[in-house]
Amino acid sequence: MLVHTHINYEDYIKLPEFTWEEINERVQRGAFWVVCNGLVVDIHNWIYSHPGGSQILLNVIGTDITNDFNNTHKNKKFEDVDEDRPEALLIPKDIPSGNNSSVLAKYVNHLQGKPTLSRRLSAAQFIDNINVKYYLREPLAQHTHSRFATQKMATLVIGKMSDDVSEKGLLVQGDGSSYRSLDNEPVEVNKRTSVNPVKTIKFNRYKLISKQMVNANANYPVMRFTFSIVHRNEKDVSTEKFLPGHYIEVQSRVNGQIAIRSYTPLEGCLSKSFSIYVKIYPKGLFSQHLNEQLIGYEIQARGPFDVCERHKSYFVPTKPVSRGASVLSQSKTYIPYAPYNKLTGTLSLTKAPKTAKTALLNPDSLDGCWDELYMIAGGTGVTPMLQLIKYHLERSTKQKSEPGQYKQMHLLFGNRKIEDVIDGILLEELASSSRGQLTVTYCFSDPPSDWEGLRGRINKDMIQAWMNLMRGVILDSNTQLMAENNNYLNILQSHSVRRDTNEQDKNLQKYEESQIIPYTYPFPREDPLAQPDDDSIIDMGPRPESKASTRIPKDIDPDLANSGRKDNLIQGKIVVSGPPDMVFTVEQALVEMGFSENMIILH
Ligand SMILES: Cc1cc2nc3c(=O)[nH]c(=O)nc-3n(C[C@H](O)[C@H](O)[C@H](O)COP(=O)(O)OP(=O)(O)OC[C@H]3O[C@@H](n4cnc5c(N)ncnc54)[C@H](O)[C@@H]3O)c2cc1C
Ligand code: HEM
């Protein structure tokens, strides 16, 4: 190392030591530091004299440039990015589409209508097309630096990397619960978390390889950006996929300053390529910046982090309860707010839930799946829900679940207009091909005039009615309440999956005639919840006119909580994510309904 960098041993010994965390912190405060051959180099005074150009060095600030400087990737073609990238979210191939009709079918133009402000190709699009066609997979600008360059670098050295564990570990084992040092010694880190310290702390470089709009609102577009790693670590054979609840930090130089934002990755992995959905805010610093970039643009990213570690979240491992009783009533533990270090962006890695890989997964089941999942999302808040949906559908496809064993997922998705729905067509396809595992109920605050479904803002009445219907509860004991609640009718009309449209129409007709909810769950379910007797009516929490509280079954065996999923037990969770005002309203509503300990609120 010393020969390569022209530094005397005595000088090397005296150099101050830095960790990646300290380097990130200094870079975020404006330092122009890079790491090369284990040395910390300040390129501030060299950047604009660099014969290879300043932009090339601006891109690498805060990263390890050893490969670039030594040209260890000589003549390598760019990473083949598509091999690991599914088309989009998983659409289970072996699940035939049923006789379903989509509630958004007649609005497909709203969902597809890409903004065509100008029919002509813009200059940027033209350059992007050229980049994609001719240059994307070309090797990076390469140069094997001369002895003079190495001597120059030696004059810029200000420190060395400390020899701590985060420096050594580069190989990830399986689920990341432990990792190996370079000398192949397994290092136990934190068995309970999928978060790997090396990868989370160190920023790596990624190249923009595709941009695509995933909603249809020209004023508030949501773009899918796909990035591919610039230097793949040959020794890192892991392709750890993102899990529900993972988010990453993306860093870029915006107007001369380093800016970092968090995003929810939906596809791929950080060791190869990944996609994020970004809402482009008219005055959003980072989102605008990303949106302006051409294919080939470089950013830096690190992670993944667990979203429930970042902010105050309610996370409670749900105790299994016997069928027929409320599945969303039992819980004991409360994982308190885990402090987030704003300066360094680092997270406490020790506060992950005891048995789950991430806090959005079920700690009490072997595969992390929930038996029943209620997701309430607004706008880009749907991204963690898409992670959950993908995860659950993938697992039940792999496990070839039989009817009756399906996980049930219900998404209440609030948007202003139909055009704002993210991945609307895909969601409809997923719902209709999921054999009833997934339902999507849309609510619009500014819907088209002929929209007959839910409208307005998501509120307590709406949530209550939605959950009752999704859980297949026939609340004929409370006819009065039903008759007063128009939400039931509206929900039936904004519900994505209609297994049998005739049946649905009959139900609606009957409802109109009798003003009593005749709705039965549209899919055959063995779950007695679908046909509860009087004793097992699920109360959605205390109501103003009745103080009846959630029934807590007496026969719970506490040991079952940690024994994995049992056939006769079901476990549920409510996850909420969206704009702050929506999240606040929903949180209040769920607390009032008695679910304060069964929800995960993503702030
Ligand atoms: C864990 C986590 C995961 C996230 N995942 C995603 C994701 O998958 N996709 C995504 O698009 N964003 C996501 N975000 C939000 C993202 O990190 C940025 O805050 C967002 O992209 C705005 O950054 P900006 O620089 O463009 O806007 P800024 O310059 O920071 O803000 C400018 C203006 O934009 C508006 N604005 C910014 N953020 C919001 C907001 N959340 N709600 C309403 N108005 C807002 C406000 O009017 C604000 O004044 C996530 C945030 C967290 C903490
Ligand atoms: C402190 C870090 C660096 C120093 C001191 C440095 C120094 C130099 C010097 C002196 C040259 C002239 C040719 C030579 O003597 O080899 C050069 C050329 C070049 N450098 Fe760097 N460099 C640094 C980092 C980088 C990095 C990180 C990259 C790529 C990401 C890079 C890419 C290039 C390229 C492509 C050229 C060739 C330019 C040409 O021939 O037109 N350099 N560099």
ipTM for the whole complex: 0.87
Any binding-site annotation on 239? no
Ligand 1 atom with minimal separation from the 276 CA: 8
Of 6-15, 210-219, 456-465, the one with minimum mean pLDDT is: 6-15
pLDDT at 481 over 60: no
Kindly tell me the number of DSSP H helices and DSSP E strands found in the chain. 19, 22
CA distance 358 to 355: 9
Cβ(43) – ligand 2 distance below 6 Å:
yes
Residue labelled with tokens 């609120």 = 601
Label the pairing between strands 222-229 and 273-279: antiparallel
Q: Supply the residue whose CA is at minimum distance from atom 29 of ligand 2.
A: 68
Q: Supply the residue whose CA is at minimum distance from atom 20 of ligand 2.
A: 52
Of 60-74, 108-122, 157-171, 539-553, the one with minimum mean pLDDT is: 539-553
Nearest residue to 305 (alpha-carbon basis) of 168, 385, 197 = 197
Cβ atoms within 10 Å of 596's Cβ, excluding its own? 16
Of 56-60, 72-76, 530-534, 550-554, the one with minimum mean pLDDT is: 550-554
Read off the pLDDT of each residue in 142-169 and give the average, rounded to a whole number: 78
CA 454 to chain centre: 26
Any binding-site annotation on 279? yes
H helix or E strand, kind and range, residue 491:
helix 487-493
- Between 316 and 453, name the one with better pLDDT: 453
Nearest residue to 36 (alpha-carbon basis) of 160, 196, 137 = 160
- Between 341 and 81, name the one with better pLDDT: 81
Render pLDDT for 253-292 as a digit per residue (tens, 0 to 9): 998 889 999 999 998 888 889 999 999 999 999 999 999 9
Cβ(148) – ligand 2 distance below 6 Å:
yes
DSSP annotation of 134 reads I
Any binding-site annotation on 383? yes
**Residue 225 Cα to ligand 1 middle (Å):** 15
**Residue 53 Cα to ligand 1 middle (Å):** 33
Q: Supply the residue whose CA is at minimum distance from atom 14 of ligand 1.
A: 263
Any binding-site annotation on 318? no
Ligand 2 atom with minimal separation from the 152 CA: 5
Ligand located closest to 307 CA: 1
Class of domain 313-602: alpha beta
Q: Supply the residue whose CA is at minimum distance from atom 3 of ligand 1.
A: 263
Ligand 1 atom with minimal separation from the 287 CA: 26
Q: Supply the residue whose CA is at minimum distance from atom 12 of ligand 2.
A: 51
In the beta sheet, which residues pair with residue 376? 412, 576
CA dihedral of 440, 430, 116, 225, whole degrees rounded to 10 = 100
Ligand 1 neighbours, Cβ below 6 Å, are 247, 261-264, 276-279, 281, 283-287, 307, 310, 380, 383, 579
What residue spans of 88-171 are helical by DSSP H? 108-112, 123-130, 147-156, 165-168
Ligand 1 atom with minimal separation from the 261 CA: 17
Ligand located closest to 231 CA: 2
The hierarchical CATH code for the domain 164-310 is: 2.40.30.10
CA distance 579 to 582: 5
Cβ(499) – ligand 2 distance below 6 Å:
no
* Best probe residue, ligand 1, of 214, 266, 287 (max atoms within 8 Å of C-beta): 287
Ligand 2 atom with minimal separation from the 156 CA: 1
* Best probe residue, ligand 2, of 61, 66, 145, 298 (max atoms within 8 Å of C-beta): 145
Backbone angles phi, psi at 47, to 5 degrees: -55, -40
Fold of the domain spanning 1-73+124-162: Flavocytochrome B2; Chain A, domain 1 (3.10.120)
pLDDT at 41 over 90: yes
CA distance 212 to 516: 45
**Candidate ranges 92-96, 293-297, 372-376, 554-558; pick with highest mean pLDDT:** 372-376
Any binding-site annotation on 511? no
Within a 13 Å sphere around the CA of 556, how many CA atoms are in the beta-carbon half?
22
* Best probe residue, ligand 1, of 220, 380, 600, 603 (max atoms within 8 Å of C-beta): 380
**Residue 339 Cα to ligand 1 middle (Å):** 20
Q: In this predicted structure, what is the pLDDT of residue 140?
A: 60
Residue type, 261: R
Cβ(230) – ligand 2 distance below 6 Å:
no
Query: 1-73+124-162 and 164-310: same fold?
Result: no
Per domain, the residue ranges of the chain are 1-73+124-162, 164-310, 313-602
pTM of the model: 0.73
Cβ(156) – ligand 2 distance below 6 Å:
yes
Render pLDDT for 364-405 as a digit per residue (tens, 0 to 9): 888 888 888 999 999 999 999 999 999 998 888 776 656 556
Distances (CA, A) of 330 to 358, 376, 388, 598: 20, 20, 22, 8
In the beta sheet, which residues pair with residue 410? 374, 439
